[in-house]
């Protein structure tokens, strides 16, 4: 059993009006040095599989098929084991994959 945490954000070149509204509010509150606010979605999913490679393939497929609209959104995920150790991560913006192995 694995757990995946997926983050979906608008591509960098696409205006994030919600981020802009939050930024304006922060500035109104006096946080003048805070900027470039971007929002996104956080999705947590359990994967009932034995093999990490299978789990990762399923999560990748779920991201491209449903969770992110690749016309407008980037996605990234981390996959954890039952103890909360990160085993794999991917970021569609960077397009690179890094299997970090058991970090914890």
Partner 1 sequence: MAHKVGVVVFPGSNCDRDAFNAFGTVLNQKVEYLWHKNTSLDGADVIVLPGGFSYGDYLRSGAIARFSPIMNEVIRFAQQGGLVMGICNGFQILVESGLLPGALLRNSSLKFICRQVYLRTETSATPFTSSLRVGDVLKVPIAHGDGNYYADDSTLKGLQDNDQIVFRYSTSGGEITPESNPNGSIMNIAGIVNTKRNVLGMMPHPERASEKILGSASGVMVLKSVIESLN
Which range of residues in 7-15, 55-63, 80-88, 93-101 is near partner 1 by CB under 8 A? 7-15
Q: What residues between 23 and 42 interact with partner 1 by CB under 8 A?
A: 41
Q: Which of 1, 12, 17, 57 binds partner 1 (CB under 8 A)?
A: 17
Q: Is 44 a residue that touches partner 1 (CB under 8 A)? A: no
Q: Rounded to whole angstroms, how far apart are CA atoms 23 and 3?
A: 32
Q: Rounded to whole angstroms, how far apart are CA atoms 17 and 6?
A: 22
Contact 68, 62 (CB under 8 A): no
Q: What residues between 45 and 74 interact with partner 1 by CB under 8 A?
A: 66-67, 69, 71-72
Q: Which two tokens stand for residue 62?
A: 């779920």
Contact 9, 70 (CB under 8 A): no
Size of the site for partner 1 (CB under 8 A): 12
CB of 58 to partner 1, least distance (A): 16
């Amino acid at each position: 059993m694995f757990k995946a945490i997926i983050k979906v954000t608008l591509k960098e070149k696409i205006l994030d009006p919600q981020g802009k509204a939050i930024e304006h509010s922060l500035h109104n509150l006096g946080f003048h040095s805070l900027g470039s606010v971007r929002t996104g979605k956080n999705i947590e999913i359990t994967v009932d599989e034995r093999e990490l490679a299978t789990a990762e393939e399923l999560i990748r497929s779920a991201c491209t098929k449903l969770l992110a609209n690749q016309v407008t959104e980037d996605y990234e995920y981390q996959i954890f084991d039952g103890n909360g150790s990160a085993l794999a991560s991917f970021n569609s913006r960077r397009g690179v994959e890094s299997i970090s192995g058991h970090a914890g």
